[in-house]
Amino acid sequence: MRVLITAGPTREYLDEVRYLSNASSGRMGYAVAAAAVASGHEVVLVTGPVALSPPAGCTVVPVETTEQMGRACREAFENCDGVVAAAAVCDYKPLHRHEGKMSKTGDVVSIEMIETDDVLAMLGAVKARRFVVGFALEASNPRERALQKLRAKNCDVIVLNGPEAIGAAENSVELIDPSGAVVATWKGLKEELATRLVEWIDRQWAAD
């Protein structure tokens, strides 16, 4: 199969030097990419800025903003059999980007924010026969929120984890299907979880 994988954070700029982002290391997405290559798949890795070397054997598309990630994913998804969306995409961006560098004035600064494009929902809306695996990082009512995200974004399954996963070497995840059932539970190094996830994907869709 040819699989699209997203990884890492995105950045939304306040001015020419400051940006909003998150602490995603990209390690989970990169681990999934490596596991998919090891399983014999063609991989397109659309990645935000991370301090990682991409796995050998995959096509790497570096991006920075959410808009860039969405554009790269739309283009790549046309020729893929499915997507594993592990990226931690910024949900908001400043309504206006300041030209140059904002200077200190001593006054309170207010920044009006708007939602960014929803990359996962966009892919889910056009998936047709392709599979869509999403990720949900939730702190409160995690299963309920993850299920809501799965259904809203038209995912086939969603990988639920918590805030402790950010930047960590290990993780604990649940794989949830559209009925709300937990179809798998895995704990360990992210590389081990990635291998299990790819094995699960192979059992579901590789023979299609």
Closest CA to 59 of 85, 28, 38, 37: 37
CA of residue 96 relative to chain centroid, distance: 25
> Rounded to an integer, what distance in angstroms lies between the CA atom of residue 191 and that of residue 89?
21
**Residues 46 and 63 sit within 8 Å (Cβ to Cβ):** yes
Reported residue count of the chain is: 208
- 171 flagged as catalytic: no
> Rounded to an integer, what distance in angstroms lies between the CA atom of residue 148 and that of residue 38?
32
Which segments of 25-141 does DSSP mark as H helices, in order? 27-38, 66-77, 119-125
> Rounded to an integer, what distance in angstroms lies between the CA atom of residue 24 and that of residue 7?
9
Joined together, the tokens standing for residue 46 give 């659309």
How far is residue 199 from each of residues 62, 192, 194, measured CA to CA in Å?
Answer: 26, 11, 9
Residues assigned a catalytic role: 22
